[in-house]
Structures are given as C-alpha cells and as structure tokens.
Amino acid sequence: MDRIKRFRKSTKASNNPIFFEKRAVRKTNSGLPRQIPRLALISIEELLKSKIQGVIIDLDNTIISEDDLYLSPDVEYWIEKAKALGIRFYILSNGKRKYRVQYWSEYLNIPAISPARKPFPKAFRFALDNMRLSPDQVVVVGDSRHTDILGAWILGCPSIQVASLPHPPRWWEKLLGKYLQTPYPKDMLLWDFLPPKSYK
C-alpha cells in the first residue's frame, strides 16, 4: 500500500482512477509489450529474453469467454510450448463459478485461485510464493486494467493486457468498458467452444 500512496502523491491527477491505472501500466513494463490482441501472439522467446519464468493468467475473457462461447485461439498450444521451455503458470480468476475455474485448472494442468479478488495483492502473493518466483520474474496477463494490470502494478510485476474475448457486457462494462478493456478485433481469428457434458 505504501507504493500506491507514494505514486498518488507524485501525480496531480491521482483522483482520477482511469488516469491512475494508465500511469500504472506505463510504469510497470520494461521490454515487454503493454498490450497484445490475444494470448498466443505473446512471444515466448521475448518472455524468456526478459527473464520471465512465470505467468499469472486471467481466465474469463482471456482464455475463455465469460459465456463459454469462444476460446482464445491456439491458447492450449501456447501454454504447452511455454511450459516445455520452463515457464510456470498460475490462474487467478475473480469468477464466482468455481466449477469453470476447476475445469480449466485441471484441463490445462495449471493451479488456480477463485475468487482471487483482484486487484488486491493476497492471491498474487500466494501465486508468487507457490511458483517460488519474485515479482520481476512473473508477468501478469489479463484483459482488464482495473483487476489484472492494476494488481500486477501493486505487486511490481510486469503485465500484458490482451483484448477481451467477445461476451455479453456487464453493467460496469457498459459504463467504463472502453477505459478498462480493449475489444477483441473484429477481423481476428476466433474459436468457438462447446463445453463438455462434465463441465458443470
């Protein structure tokens, strides 16, 4: 919390939460892109070059759309390739449907926390401790500035924001979505997803 207080004192526009989060994004990344359209376009080689050994990853609208209709293209291959090169993963989800988080945790063989209550640091610290990595060795990947990216900044982790997979907008997204998320490009590949019978 000391870090947030110091940062707020150093900016005249600290009362504006959107300004605060955008400034936070600019201060956290070094050598990695701040934004990228989808997971599989993140260069694993660039992660390794930046000495990244772990990835804390969001679930809803990052790996799978919240309404379970779309899967981020090539996400399974990308994760397996990264694992083969020694990168560790942890899923942090604010989703309340624990069966979904459990399914993807088991399917992708990645430990998960739900609900993670991002951007509060407790779940992030738990993931870092379990991966036995320091904040500068872990990148946080997610679609929301106010949860994933802000949470990464609080802990001192680099972060990459991906575009949100298409999903029905929640009430707060109708009001602030354009400031907190990036829409999935209309001309970009998208995979349909059919949940298995054992999904629930």
CATH number for the domain that contains residue 149:
3.40.50.1000
Count up the domains in the chain and report the number: 1
What is the predicted pLDDT for the residue at 133?
98
What is the predicted pLDDT for the residue at 192?
65
Average pLDDT value over all residues in the chain: 80
% of the chain at pLDDT higher than 70 = 68
Asked if residue 20 is part of any domain, the answer here is no
Query: From start to end of the chain, where are the E strands?
Result: 35-36, 54-57, 70-71, 88-92, 112-113, 138-142, 159-162, 191-192
Asked if residue 113 is part of any domain, the answer here is yes
State how far the Cα of 70 lies from the Cα of 15, in Å rounded to an integer. 36
Asked if residue 10 is part of any domain, the answer here is no
Asked if residue 26 is part of any domain, the answer here is no
Q: Is the per-residue pLDDT at 94 higher than 70?
A: yes
Q: Which two tokens stand for residue 129?
A: 């401790």
Which of the residue ranges 40-49, 132-141, 174-183 would you say has the lowest mean pLDDT? Answer: 174-183
Mean pLDDT of 141-154: 92
Asked if residue 173 is part of any domain, the answer here is yes
